[in-house]
Amino acid sequence: MARRYFGTDGVRGRVGEHPMTASFALQLASAAARVLAPEGGAVLIGKDTRLSGYMFESALEAGFVAAGVDVMLIGPLPTPGVAYMTRRFDCDFGVVISASHNLYDDNGIKFFDASGGKLSDELEERIESELEEPAVTRPSRDLGRATRADRMRTFYQEFCASTLPPGVDLSGLKIVIDCANGAAYKVGPRILADLGAEIVPIGCSPNGRNINDGCGSMAPDLLQLTVPGVRAHVGLALDGDGDRLVMVDHLGRIVDGDQLLYVIASALKSAGTLRGPVVGTVMSNLGLEVALRAADIEFRRAAVGDRYVLALLRETGGVLGGETSGHILCLDKTTTGDGLVSALQVLAVMNQTGRPLAELASPMRKFPQVLLNVKVAGRFDPSGVPAVREAVARIEQRMAGDGRVVLRPSGTEPVIRVMVEGRDEEATRAAATELAAVVKGVAG
C-alpha cells in the first residue's frame, strides 16, 4: 500500500493546507488510537514552539480522548525527549508536533512506539487505512482523560546528564548554546548549567514565529560570531526540535555531523566501548571514511535518512551513526537521534582529554563536496539513463579513486541531487557542473 500522508518523518506540510489542518489532526489521532491503543491506553504529546502547535495539540488531544486514550501533555520538549518520556511513563505511544528544522509556517505530526522508536511502515500504513473511517467518540464512561505533565520534563534533563561518564561534569567550560528558538529552549541551557558549565544562551526566546529563523543548526552564523566574541570554549546549535547538532570550535569554525561522529567514535575506540561499524550515509564526507580507516574503525554507508542509519546499525550491531546534518545516533545512550545527548558526549571528551574541539576534530580533513539540485518535471531514476551512466563513469575515471559521485532523487521535492566529492575543489566543482548539465539534458 502506497502511503499518502506519512513521509520519512511523519506527516508534514504547510499549516492550513491539507493535511496540516485541525480537522485532519483530529482524524489522524482517532485513526492512530484505533491502531496503537485499540483497548484504550495512554499517549504522551510533546511539541516545539510553533504558534500552530497549540492548535494541533488541542485537536490531537480531542481525537485521542474521544477514542478512549488518556493524554499527557508535556508542552515544548525536544523530539528525543518525547521518545524518552514515552518509555519513562510506560505510554502506549508518543506524539511530537514539529516540523524539525523548517520555519514556523510548516508543522508536522510524528509518532513513537512504546519503546521510543519510530513506527514501522506497516503500522503507518494501518493508520492511513483507518483514516477512511470517521473519527470515533466513545460513551462518556469510556472517554480518556487529559493531564498536563510540563513539570516532568526534569526527568529528561536528568536522563541527558546521566549519559556523561561517571565523575565527569562541565565545570570550567564556557559554552554558547543556540536552541533555534525551538523545543530545547528550556531544557538545553538548564542541563548544561546544572552540570557546572558557564552558559551564554542565544536562540532561546521563542515567540511562536521565530523558530529556526536565522538561528540554530541550519543557520549557525550568529553562533560562529558569538563563540570567539565572548571567548567561549565551544558553541553548540540545535535545530527546532532538538534532534540535530552542529558545534562551533573556539575559533568560530563549524564542526559538522561528520566531524562530530569522528570525535565520538575515536573516544569510544580509545575506551574500548565501540561496537560494530560507524554508520553514515551516502552523503557523508569521504574525509570521514578516510579518517576512520586510519583509526582502524570500520565505516558503512546507509541511504539518506536517520531511519536507514538506525536500520543498518541494528543489522550490524553498531552503536554509533549519523548524518552530516548533525543527526547523530548514540545507541549506547538512547534510542533516537538526540542533539543534547550527542553534545554531551563531545563535551565529555573535551573534559576528559583537556583538548579543545578544534584539536579533537583536526584528524578528519573534509574533502571538497559540491551538491547541485537539478529540477525535474517528474520522478525518475537518473542512474538508469545511458548518457548519465557514461558521464558518471567518465568523471570517476578522472578521479582515479580519489572521489565519489552520488545521484539521488529527492524524497520531498522534484529535484535530482547531484553530489561530487574529491580532493581538489576546482576539479570537483567542474565535475559536478558537468554531470548536472547531463542530468538536466535528459530530464527535459
Residue linked to cell 583537556: 354
In the residue annotation, 100 being an active-site residue is answered as: yes
Kindly give, in sequence order, each residue whose CB lies less than 8 Å from that of residue 239, ignoring residues fewer than 6 positions away: 100, 101, 180, 182, 212, 216, 217, 218, 326, 339
Q: What are phi and psi of 328, to 5 degrees?
A: -115, 135
Q: What cell numbers appear for 369 in the block?
A: 563536496
Kindly give, in sequence order, each residue whose CB lies less than 8 Å from that of residue 161, ignoring residues fewer than 6 positions away: 191, 194, 195, 344
Q: Which residue, 111, 44, 92, is CA-closest to 71?
A: 44
Neighbour tally for 345: CB within 10 Å: 23
Among residues 98, 100, 284, 325, which one is catalytic? 100
Query: Active-site positions?
Result: 100
